Every structure is written in structure tokens, then in C-alpha cells.
Structure 1
Amino acid sequence: MLREFVISAAVAGTALAMAPGAAADEPHGPFPGDPPGMSYEAYLSAPCYQWDRFAFGRGPGGEPLLCRWIPGQSPIGMDRPPEGVGFWVLSPKIYGVQAVGSPCPGSQAAAQSPDGLPMLCLGAAGWQPGSMHSGDWGNGNDFYPAG
């Protein structure tokens, strides 16, 4: 009986030792073209605290995100977000660090200025620091220059 117990304990111990360990998701990145200051621990709609400079991040699946303060968006159970809290939102494809006014690939493109400001591609105007906001009554989008 003791021999059977020892054998079964040894088999169970071997099985446990060979099983892959469960671990939290490892932060991933950097991806090619990621600008400096990226957060690799961002989650869509989760709170964030740095939306003025170095505001880009990547979600668990590598999706590009941007930390933004959004009027009227708040965590569940709150009427408004606490002072200094933003939220991770989806970002267009990120093209690394670019110079203000330099040519860009077209719409749906984001980049970071050398001093860390988020930028958007504005066609003939090239890369411009700023971000998109919902227009009046939630219709359309408006570009707000950084600064």
C-alpha cells in the first residue's frame, strides 16, 4: 500500500512539474515604429494618467491605443472621472516619431512629435500635433491642435 502511494505521488509530482506554469500576460513590444514612452500595459477603456505627452500605448493584442481625457466618460459608479484621469481609446496606426509638417501616409495615421506630443496626418499639411474630438452633438470629428 505504501509503495502504491509513493508511486502515485511520484507520478503526480512529475505531471505537475511538466505542466506549463500559469502566469500573467507578459508585457509585449516594442513593435517596429513604436515611439519612445509607449505603455505596453494599456487596456481599452481602462484609466490612464498621461494624455498630454507620450500618450500612446498598446493593448494585450498589440492594438494601438491613446490615453485621452474624454468629457462625460467615467468609470462605472461615478458621475465624472476624478481629476487627472483619462481613458485608453483606440488609435490609428502609429508611425513612430515624425517631424511636424513632414509628409505623411494619409488619413487614419498617428505619430508622436520629437517632444512627445501625439500627432495626426492632415493630408497636405503633413503631421500636425493634436487630436480628434467628437464634434458638436457627437456628430463628426473636429481636430484640436496641441498646445
Structure 2
Amino acid sequence: MFRELFVAVSIAGAAVGLAPGALADPSNDYHDDPGRYPTDVPGMSYEAKLGAPCYSWERNVFGRGRGGEPLQCKWIPNQWPPVYTGFWTATYALYGVQDIGAPCPGPQSTAQAPDGRPLLCVGARGWQPTVLTGSGLHPA
């Protein structure tokens, strides 16, 4: 009786122990093709990864990350690594190319101006160019 119980527990332990190895196959990992969205903008990076370095933080700053997450390349002052490196950070919902001052859908929305500058929705003022400070995105 004890022998059968020991064998059953051993088989169950082996099955549980080997299961995570089968699930760790990278080919079964989260599908990382961000695809294309109707609100995408010219110059968009489809290879962006949250927290990875980026080098275009003034114009054409938007990208798509894992699963299509909208990202923005931001340079943060007084930060290591060197001053010529920005980082991909999460951003608000992206609304394509918009004109400065045009009406916008509401707060927490971003867009890109025809000249490539990032825009932020500022209520009644509409889309306005942004500047990044230590406390976040603000109208320029």
C-alpha cells in the first residue's frame, strides 16, 4: 500500500515539475507583432520596447510596443545613461496626425503635428505642442 502511494506521488511530482518547462517554450510566448492601427502616424517605430533606449525625442516620437501599446520616446534631463539617449515610455491614446489648435476628444490624448512634433489635448485649446518636464507632459 505504501509502495503504490509512493509511486503515485512520485509520478504526480514529476508531472508537476516538468510542466513549467513545457510552458516556457519561447515560441509560445506572447505574440509581439504590434500591427498597424488607423491612428498610427508617419515615422512611427514598430520595434519600440517599453524602457528601451530611443534617439528621436523631438520629432516623430511615437512607437508601438508589445501588443500594440502606444509608446513615446522621451528624453529625461539629468538621467543616466548619457545625455543623447531617450527612453520609450507609455503614453496616452494616440489620435493620428492633427493640426495645432484643432478640437480634440478629451484629456489624456496624444497626436502628432504634420511637422512631426508631439501634441497633447488641452481641453478648449485643442491640440497643443508638448514639452516633457520632470512632472510629465505639458503644453509648450
What's the counterpart of residue 97 of structure 1?
Answer: 97
Per-residue displacement from partner, 1:8-58 (whole Å, max 9, x unpaired)? xxxxxxxxxxxxxx5996653221111111101001111000000000001
42 and 35 in structure 1: CA distance in 2 versus 1, 3 angstrom threshold: same
Trace 1:107-118 onto structure 2 (pairs within 5 A): 107-118=107-118
Conserved? CA contact 1:133–1:144, under 8 Å: no
Conserved? CA contact 2:51–2:89, under 8 Å: yes
User: SS in structure 2 opposite 1:124?
Assistant: helix
With normalisation by structure 2, the TM-score equals: 0.72
Per-residue displacement from partner, 1:50-91 (whole Å, max 9, x unpaired)? 000000001021110000001244xxxxxx222310000111
Provide the rounded CA distance (Å) in 2 between the counterparts of 1:90 and 1:39: 14
User: SS in structure 1 opposite 2:67?
Assistant: coil
Conserved? CA contact 2:122–2:139, under 8 Å: no
71 and 83 in structure 1: CA distance in 2 versus 1, 3 angstrom threshold: closer
Q: Percent identity?
A: 53
The residue identity in structure 2 corresponding to 1:68 is: K
Bigger helix share: 2
Unaligned runs of 5+ in 1: 1-21, 74-79, 136-140
Provide the rounded CA distance (Å) in 2 between the counterparts of 1:132 and 1:105: 21
Per-residue displacement from partner, 1:98-141 (whole Å, max 9, x unpaired)? 00000001101000000000000000100001134334xxxxx5
The residue identity in structure 1 corresponding to 2:138 is: F
Q: Paired residues, what number?
A: 114
What's the counterpart of residue 75 of structure 2?
Answer: 69
Conserved? CA contact 2:33–2:67, under 8 Å: no
Conserved? CA contact 2:97–2:114, under 8 Å: yes
Provide the rounded CA distance (Å) in 1 between the counterparts of 2:73 and 2:129: 15
